[in-house]
Amino acid sequence: MAPKTYRFCKWLIEKLLKKRYMTFEEINEEWKNDRSLSNGVELLRKTFYNNRKMLKESFGIEIVCRDNGGYHYFIKNPEIIRDDKLKDWLLNSLCIDEHMMDCKSLAGRIMLENIPSGGNILECITKAMLGGYKLRFNYVKYGSPDVNEHTAEPWGLVLYRQRWYVLVSFGDEKKYTFALDRMNNLEMTSEKFEIDPEFKVADYFGEFYGIYNSGREKTKIVLRAYDDEAYYLRDLPIHKSQREIGSGDGYTDFMIELRQNKELIALLLSRRERLKVQSPDSIIDDMKAALDATRANYS
């Protein structure tokens, strides 16, 4: 019985990152001892070779051998795993899919969120991104009966709150996000465009919460979490800039630094009485205005 491909590959990567160098015999022994994955079955050299080949072809991860008093295997380019979140996400997703295929009998006892795949639209966008071609599509905004046609440069893709979005430019520095499920008649044009080779979509979205750039300047925001809310913020930070700055009787203060937008206000409001904005005044005023508008709906 050969080990499950993606789960074995993830296991192997984690072992080699931790121990750095391992002989095939050492890998085989640790694999057999991890009975939750191997069921105690030995690793065949052919299986090991095939999985090394798959990792290189599919993910660019090279596991090579050196003769240094014994044939030791190691990851030649570990930086590609640490720096590339997409590869890590793909490998993790494939491992989960592979595992869930073994759990069909639990179908009635496992509930998952529905994430639209994007289908042919997602495939068309990625092909355009790979080739550097512009896209042409129709788009309907929420609350508007108008259908607008756009020709745009696809700069990036992001999965956010169960929906796929594409980040595009119309030839200038400003960028816009479009939801894939509201795009129609999408096609890749023959018109090429140049993208900044240093551009990273994670860096672009990293300056604000969510996917909409308000254009506001970055600001430091101090939040006071009451009681158990501090534990939630520690486990699931609002933003990568979040850090803990103090505490008192029944509360903990955190600071985040980003560009304010409506999504951030909505998130803070969802924490209700458990979270309070301490500063700046501009966000406190926006919070009060949103609360007043909510209260008016019930008056």
Q: 245-260 burial by CB neighbour count: b if 16+ within 10 A, else e?
A: eeeeeeebbbbbebbb
- The answer to whether residue 158 is domain-embedded is yes
CA atoms within 13 A on the CB side of 169: 18
Q: Assess whether pLDDT exceeds 50 at residue 1.
A: no
Within-domain flag for 181: yes
pLDDT > 50? residue 70: yes
Q: Are residues 64 and 10 in the same domain?
A: yes
Average per-residue pLDDT for the chain: 85
DSSP 117-166: --HHHHHHHHHHHHHTEEEEEEE--TT----EEEEEEEEEEEEETTEEEE
Last residue of a domain, one of 68, 101, 134: 101
Q: Are residues 124 and 194 in the same domain?
A: yes
In this structure, are 223 and 182 located in the same domain?
no
Sheet holding 275-279, edge to edge: 243-248, 251-259, 218-226, 275-279
Higher pLDDT, 168 or 58: 168
In a domain, 64, yes or no: yes
Which of 101, 134, 151 is at the close of a domain? Answer: 101
Mean pLDDT of 72-99: 69
Give the pLDDT confidence of 250-297 residue by residue, as tens digits.
999 999 999 988 899 999 999 989 999 999 999 999 999 999 999 999
Find the mean pLDDT for residues 25-52.
87
Range of the domain at 70: 5-101
Kindly report the CATH number assigned to the domain that includes residue 165.
2.30.30
Strand partners, 257: 220
Please check whether residue 196 lies inside any domain of the structure.
yes
E strand or H helix at 46? helix 45-59
Mean pLDDT along residues 180-206: 89
Q: Is 127 within a domain?
A: yes
pLDDT interval class at 229 (50, 70, 90): very high
Q: CA neighbours within 13 Å on the CB side: how many for 60?
A: 12
Query: In the chain, how many domains are there?
Result: 3
Q: What CATH number did the domain enclosing 75 receive? A: 1.10.10
For residue 55, the SS3 value is helix
Please say which residue of 72, 101, 130 terminates a domain.
Answer: 101
What average pLDDT does the segment 81-86 reach? 63
Residue 2 has pLDDT above 50, yes or no: no
Where is pLDDT greater, at 127 or 80? 127
Q: What are the tens digits of pLDDT across the range 120-166?
A: 788 888 889 888 999 999 998 887 778 889 999 999 988 888 788 99
